[in-house]
Amino acid sequence: MKLRPMPSLSLLQTFEVVARRSSFTLAADEMCLTQSAVSRQIRALEDQLGLPLFRRLHRAIELTTDGRQLYDSVARGLEEIAGCVAGLRSAAETPQITVAASVAFSYFWLMPRLERFTARHPDIDLRVLATDQKVDLRQEGVDVAILYGSGRWEGARTHLLFGERVYPVCSPAYLRDHPELRAPSDMLDQTLLHLDGGGNIWGGVDWRVWLMTQGVTGQPVRRGVRLNSYPMIVQAAEAGRGVALGWSYIADQMLADGRLVCPVDKSLQTREGYYVSALEKAADVTATASFLQWIMGEVVEAASLA
């Protein structure tokens, strides 16, 4: 199709700003030009078209009938062009999402499974933010969060992954060296491994809470060991340094592998659970939706193999 001669895009863009702002001065400020430069461009456009586009009034301008007709067409055209360019750029960019989770969840549950996600979605650039600090989905740069709690977070779409049980764990060697460890009250005479700085991600469950739920009210006889990272707690337990609290989504597999044992078969069933969460407005974005679908499928598969 042969195109008819038409004004340059730069003149039409200047015209759109002047018409929208109804002011040469405001248009000049928006475009970082001088007022005289804007005025010259509008005059050049009017000369090319052979008709006036504005009425110059005292300290004001207004569109003529022809100017209004041209403005409607130019505004629609520029909007369509901008939308098309944005779509092309979006299609060319690699989809990227950031998933925030606790250090323990990232290390023990998420990372061993991520290879299956990347194999299924090689086009998605996935970033894992491992943090034991409180995560706010509204903060910039977090698309999905694995949160422990009730599942009720304002503005978020949440799906329960699993509930949680907490029970004592130690190495097989530690249990052999402490055959007296048979009941919850026997924990008071053991070296207990404590997690410091876990914050809300653990729902407030620690040794004091676990012992209270088992009816044990005394104080530990031995000095415990305090660490600020749950992976370090697990390593210490495996090395026979003491008894730790095991969270089932981590410890169940370690018991099955024989790396840890449960010296006292008493668990605390928490009232809350782990939820995968995304803001409502972001949950249907293709990359985010793909991750949500994948992680829920992983939970279903893990449950079927349990």
DSSP annotation of 282 reads: T
Please say if the pLDDT value at position 279 is more than 90.
no
Please say if the pLDDT value at position 291 is more than 90.
yes
* Residue 62 belongs to domain with CATH number: 1.10.10.10
Find, among 4, 11, 2, the residue nearest to 38 by Cα. 11
Q: Are residues 172 and 246 in the same domain?
A: yes
| Residue 40 phi, psi (nearest 5) | -65, -40
Q: Are residues 158 and 176 in the same domain?
A: no
Q: Is residue 151 part of a domain?
A: yes
Q: Are residues 229 and 277 in the same domain?
A: no
Q: Are residues 170 and 252 in the same domain?
A: yes
How does residue 1 score in pLDDT terms, banded at 50, 70 and 90? very low
Name the least confident of 137-141, 203-207, 244-248.
137-141
Q: Is residue 4 part of a domain?
A: no
Q: Is residue 64 part of a domain?
A: yes
pLDDT of 285: 80
| Most distant CA atoms of the chain, gap in Å | 102
Point out the domain boundary residue: 72, 92, 112: 92
Q: Is residue 2 part of a domain?
A: no
Contact 45, 12 (CB under 8 A): yes
Bridge partners of 96, per DSSP, are 125
Other beta carbons within 10 Å of 275 = 21
Point out the domain boundary residue: 61, 92, 123: 92
User: 6-25: per-residue pLDDT in tens?
Assistant: 888 889 999 999 999 999 99
Please say if the pLDDT value at position 92 is more than 60.
no
Q: Are residues 230 and 291 in the same domain?
A: no
Q: How many domains does the chain have?
A: 3
The SS3 call for residue 63 is strand
Report, as an integer, the average pLDDT of 295-301.
92
The SS3 call for residue 159 is strand
Q: Are residues 59 and 45 in the same domain?
A: yes
Instruction: Report the mean per-residue pLDDT for the chain.
Output: 88
- The larger pLDDT score, comparing residue 87 to residue 22, is at 22
Q: Is residue 191 part of a domain?
A: yes
| Residue span of the structural domain in which 27 resides | 9-92
Contact 194, 224 (CB under 8 A): yes
Q: Are residues 246 and 295 in the same domain?
A: no
Other beta carbons within 10 Å of 103 = 17
Q: Is residue 21 part of a domain?
A: yes
Distance from C-alpha of 241 to C-alpha of 256, rounded to nearest angstrom: 20
| Residue 191 phi, psi (nearest 5) | -80, 110
Q: Are residues 118 and 170 in the same domain?
A: no
| Global pTM value | 0.65
Q: 125-130 and 96-101: which strand pairing?
A: parallel
Contact 130, 101 (CB under 8 A): yes
How does residue 282 score in pLDDT terms, banded at 50, 70 and 90? confident
* Residue 180 belongs to domain with CATH number: 3.40.190.10
Token code pair at residue 260: 């840890």
Point out the domain boundary residue: 45, 73, 92: 92
Q: Is residue 175 part of a domain?
A: yes
Give the distance from CA 101 to its chain's centroid.
8
Q: Are residues 124 and 36 in the same domain?
A: no
Contact 260, 237 (CB under 8 A): yes
Token code pair at residue 57: 């009034």
How does residue 263 score in pLDDT terms, banded at 50, 70 and 90? very high
Please say if the pLDDT value at position 140 is more than 80.
no
276 burial class (0-12, 13-18, 19+ CB within 10 angstroms)?
buried
Q: Are residues 196 and 61 in the same domain?
A: no
Q: Are residues 157 and 243 in the same domain?
A: no
Report, as an integer, the average pLDDT of 100-129.
92
Q: Are residues 175 and 241 in the same domain?
A: yes
